[in-house]
Amino acid sequence: MQSQTRNLGDTGTSLSRSSNMGSTLGRSSEGPASPLRSAATKRFSKELLLGTERVTLVAMRGRRWWFVQEQDDATVDHGRFCDGKAAEKDEKLASKASNAKSLEARSMAIDAKCSPEVRRAFRALPVERCGCATIQAVWSACDTFWEFDTAHSGAITREGYINLMRECATVNTLRMLRRARLEFRFRRSAAPVLLEDFLLMIWPKATSEDRARMMRWAELREAPWTCKAWRKLKGIRTSKHQILGYMDTHTHT
């Protein structure tokens, strides 16, 4: 068997090619190979000097490569295949990872260029709130309470609750009732539920200061309802004084 070795430069890599490799590895007992098969099974050898080890790339069959390792002048056949499809898949995953890193670096560069002292085009107004809720949430709870207490008596009776639930309640009303567990409360007791109790059922962790502030917000929310009732009743003195009292208290606070 005659072989030819050619030096590839200063890298210490050499290329070996056997003269009869095509004749020995290309033989088949089934007859001559087709041109497509012979093109796919083209033989060549490539040696890489890695210290004392040499890995020889012996043959390519289809998309598979057969490796033989030579160590200390003793050839060791590992019988290991390296699939080309798997290699392409690994390359794609590596490219995706590199692209993700580049995008992350680009976003970090953009964030670094942006000044943190840039003023916003629109700044929302500060929302008044207590320790457990905002004024809008308390007003929403009060609106739900007054849907049952249409007479503004200050309490929800079990009869009024049943009468309103017979009608088509809104989604916000059902959500607030589920949060307050009002049905469970009327199953335990038939006593009316006051507004302060209703708010405490929704926010059980409210402190005494929070409850006082929520009741104050409820009074401010009740003023439009009182105005509507005052127009219907053609100006009762008590309703008028009640509205003026709300306004006076709000100006002093």
Quote the pLDDT of residue 100. Answer: 79
The Cα 36–Cα 24 span in angstroms is 18
Instruction: Report the 10 Å Cβ neighbour count for 76.
Output: 11
Q: What is the pLDDT of residues 138-149, one digit of tens each?
A: 999 998 998 888
Tokens found for residue 252? 């002093």
Task: For residue 65, list its beta bridge partners.
Answer: 60, 82
Of 125, 126, 137, nearest to 206 by C-alpha is 137
C-alpha span between 72 and 127 (Å, rounded): 80
- Model confidence at 128, pLDDT cuts 50, 70, 90, reads confident
| Range from 27-41, 77-91, 92-106, 133-147 carrying the lowest mean pLDDT | 27-41
pLDDT of residue 227: 66
How far, in Å, CA of 132 to CA of 217, rounded?
Answer: 14
DSSP letter (8 states) at residue 132: S
For 63-94, the pLDDT digits (tens) are 444 444 444 444 444 444 445 566 667 677 77
pLDDT tier at 137, thresholds 50, 70, 90: very high
Does residue 81 contact residue 66 with C-beta atoms inside 8 Å?
yes
Mean pLDDT of all residues in 4-13: 47
Tokens read off for 214: 């929520």
Per residue in 166-207, pLDDT (tens digit) is: 887 788 888 888 899 988 999 998 899 999 999 999 999 999
pLDDT at 37: 47
Q: What's the CA gap between 70 and 136, in Å, rounded?
A: 80
Q: Which residues pair with 47 in a beta bridge?
A: 14, 56
Predicted local distance difference test score (pLDDT) of residue 129: 87
**Of residues 167 and 234, more confidently modeled:** 167
**Distance, CA of 55 to CA of 69 (rounded, Å):** 4
